[in-house]
Each structure stands twice: as structure tokens, then as C-alpha cells.
Amino acid sequence: MTRRVLVTAGAAGIGLAIARRFAAEGARVMVTDVDAGALAALPAGIEGQRADVADEAAMAALAARIGAAWGGLDVVCANAGIKGPTARVTETPLDGWRECTGVNLDGAFLTARHMLPLRGAGGVILFTSSTAGIYGFPYRAPYAAAKWGVIGLMKTVAMEEGPRGIRANAILPGSVRGPRIDRVFAAEAAEKGMSVEAVRTGYEAGTALRALSEAEDVAEMAFFLASPAARMVTGQPIAVDGFTINPDPQV
């Protein structure tokens, strides 16, 4: 049977890599995003739908459309997230805190709330958290708090939905190459008074493998966790980060 897969924030970066991985194996894939241009540029075989994961009405409407068109979902990837402000806690504005936690944590909750009912017995929901969700992240308090919250949400979903055969896990990327992490490095460099290259080198040195991850590394983990090979894996936060040994690299 052709699997039906939803990936939020799936028009670029990690989300697009996940969408491509499932589509390559013949799954029917829909991605959501707020970037209309990125949605218009999606590769053939991947459907796109504009939706803001922090907007409950939009997520309810999306669930209704998927239910009507597909009859349900087999895999849900709650992947949407933003980096939020880069500042000390004492200098972080409340509106920046709320926007970041709204997308990263509320968005994950609303995705689960509205998409889980589309599953019968069985199925998989994957949450994109972060290594910031197990270590913390200096200058990025809203992001770290939200990503810790995503892990708590995932574990609770795993407990509640396990009796129906639904598995829930969280993938914790470290620093993943691409435009998004470039912006993160630039903001951190400005905050710390360092060069962008020095920040990048510090993050690479802060992993056991001395390297940053690729979006495809995360996609491969998502594909595995959604496969029968992972049938007894649920409730787990699983890092894809080259093993972070120094979560606050200083160089």
C-alpha cells in the first residue's frame, strides 16, 4: 500500500530532504510551508500546501483537506521551526520568545492534535527537536525551551497513542549545513564579537566527528524511524549530530 506522508515546513532544508526521501520510495507526500515561492518550486511528485503550523484554523483546515483527499495519513513529520532571537535571556524580547515557541512548540502540538485523528491503528509521528532540546543553547533561550518542550510532547504522545499502535519519536539534529545554519552562525558571531568562520569552526570542533550534518542525514533517520525496521522504537529522542561533545563551543 502506498504510504501517505505529511511533512510540515517541507519546502526547503531538512523538511524537503525528508519529503524527497519518502517520495523516492514511492510514498505520496504532501508538504506544508509558509514560503509560497518555495512551494511553487517543489520537485515533481511532492504536493505542496501553504499553511502556518501556529495557526489552529489553518491546521484544522489542512487536516480536513487531507482526510477528504487521502482518507488518512501513515506518517506525520512535525518539522516546522524557526531560530528565534539571538540574545541573552535578559535581552530577549517577549514577542520574540512567543513567536519562536509559537512555531516550534505550539506548531508541533497543533500538528499532532489535528493530524493524529487521521490515523487508525498504527502509524508514525516524528517530531523535529534539536540537540538544543537536551543541552540548552546560550543566546537562544526560546529555541532551546521550545525544543525541550517538543521532546516532552513526543514522549506523552508515545504513551497516549501506543495502545493504538502509533509510534512517536523525536529527531534531534545538530548543526545542519545550509542557509538556515549560516544565518544562525552569523547572528551568533555578531552577538559574541567573533567571525562567522570562527563560529562555524567551533561548532565543527564541538562534535566527536568534527563535522556538521547534512539534511540528508536527518532524512535517512526519519525514513528509518518510519519503517518496519523500527517497529519497537517509540518515545525516543534520537540525535543526528556527529555526537555533540561541547554544546557551547568557544574558539
For 221, the grid coordinates are 533517520
For residues 205 and 242, the answer to whether their CB atoms sit within 8 Å is no
Residue 139 among the catalytic residues: no
Q: Given the DSSP bridges, would you call strands 46-50 and 167-173 parallel, antiparallel or unpaired?
A: unpaired
Give Cα separations from 184 to 18, 161, 175, 244 (angstroms).
21, 35, 9, 17
Closest CA to 184 of 202, 168, 169, 170: 202
SS3 23: helix
Instruction: Report DSSP letters for 61-113, one per residue.
Output: HHHHHHHHHHS--SEEEE--------B-GGG--HHHHHHHHIIIIIHHHHHHH
What cell was used for 63?
487536516
Q: Write down the catalytic residue from 135, 139, 143, 203.
A: 143
d(CA 130, CA 108): 13
Question: Which set of grid coordinates corresponds to residue 249?
Answer: 563551543
- Closest to 51 in 3D by CA, of 69, 73, 66, 67: 66
| Euclidean distance between CA atoms 112 and 6, whole angstroms | 11
Catalytic site positions? 143
